[in-house]
Amino acid sequence: MTTNAVPLTQRSTLDLIGNTPLVLLKGPSEAAGCEIWGKCEFANPGASVKDRAALWIVRDAEARGELQPGGTVVEGTAGNTGIGIALVANALGYKTVIVMPDNQSKEKMDTLRALGAELVLVPPTKFSDPNHFVHTSRRLAEETQGAVWANQFDNIANRKAHIGSTAPEIWGQMEGRIDGFTCAAGTGGTIAGTGMGLKAFDENVVIALTDPHGAALYSYYAEGELKSEGSSVAEGIGQGRITANLEGAPIDTQFRISDEEGLEWVARLLSEEGLCLGLSSGINVAGAVALGRKLVSEGRPAPRIATILCDTGFRYLSSLYNAEWLASKNLPVFPWLAR
């Protein structure tokens, strides 16, 4: 299959963000009865899809004159956006302050510290709590001279990153032959931006939300009401409100995926295809299989589905790939970890 050529040399390390490969996933394709393709966002310099939003948010702040030389970028994040911001800030001469819930993976915390970011940990709490990590990061930005608040949830530079890069990359890599796209929502930037970008190419591309348990968007798009049920250990996805990035998102259908189903695909993609991924990727793949089956059942001939492989599994060695941790969450332990 012919794809867009990716340059082998770049003039800036920031040019390494984006232009990630697209890979055909054999097991999911067989399960769905159609082609399932994964966008390898773990190939970004910060090893996650959030590098894109980080770059566009920082560049937008520069363009608006809010971020001056020697300034500081402050953000509240589950970790991956913070890692992307720290790398972008380092490359451009800015400082970084990251506020993160203290229940996220140890690997993310260690990575942020290694990158030189100032890390502030807060207890996980509801968004309505003024001590929520997002509100804490906003206050720190207001109190820090020369700082800007990245505000990834409601800063639409986030979704513009996917309108301007992710969507056209997928469209080009799939030679304009794509029937559906799905992924989960954290900030909403990826699903909304990629959906908007793909719809601009072809209105008939079906955009599906894949929502973990514990989030409220599935019921919102299915029934018009923000309502959650259950819970998930997945980091960085799941949302209980309509963020600015989600406003106007072209969601055509929706699926709710359990951690167990997502973990099944995490295990299979590693043991059968050599891809070590996080749980959000497994949930996305499960959603892509569900979307593929739906389009097949509706009579679409040989549908082709794309989804996001969000980040590397190496970021979750102390949790997702740890037998004791999985057992403590009453989740199935991968067979090779139980030996």
**Is residue 115 domain-shared with residue 210, that is, in the same domain?**
no
pLDDT of residue 94: 98
User: Per the structure, how many domains does the chain have?
Assistant: 2
pTM of the model: 0.95
267, 277 Cβ separation under 8 angstroms: no
Neighbours of 121 (CB within 10 A): 13
Give the whole-angstrom CA distance, residue 268 versus residue 262. 10
Given 149, 180, 198, the domain boundary residue is: 149
Q: What's the whole-number mean pLDDT along residues 238-266?
A: 98
Q: What's the whole-number mean pLDDT along residues 282-311?
A: 98
Task: Give the range of the structural domain holding residue 287, as residue numbers without chain letter.
Answer: 13-43+162-337
- DSSP secondary structure, 308-339, as one string: EE-BBGGGGTTTTT-HHHHHHTT-PPPGGG--
**Is residue 142 domain-shared with residue 173, that is, in the same domain?**
no
- Tokens, residue 4: 């867009």
Side-chain-side CA neighbours of residue 62 (13 Å): 13
**Is residue 175 domain-shared with residue 318, that is, in the same domain?**
yes
pLDDT of residue 5: 59
> Is residue 79 within a helix (H) or strand (E), and if so which, with residue range?
none
Percentage of residues in the chain having pLDDT higher than 90 = 94
Active site (annotated) includes residue 50 = yes
**Is residue 250 domain-shared with residue 324, that is, in the same domain?**
yes
pLDDT of residue 78: 85
The CATH number for 307's domain is: 3.40.50.1100
Given 99, 124, 149, the domain boundary residue is: 149
Q: Summarize pLDDT for 191-242 with one digit per residue, the tens.
A: 999 999 999 999 999 999 999 999 999 999 999 999 999 999 999 999 999 9
Q: Summarize pLDDT for 149-166 with one digit per residue, the tens.
A: 999 999 999 999 999 999
**Is residue 202 domain-shared with residue 246, that is, in the same domain?**
yes
> Is residue 39 within a helix (H) or strand (E), and if so which, with residue range?
strand 35-40
Residue of 50, 95, 108, 199 marked active site: 50
**Is residue 220 domain-shared with residue 133, that is, in the same domain?**
no
49, 84 Cβ separation under 8 angstroms: no
**Is residue 242 domain-shared with residue 192, that is, in the same domain?**
yes
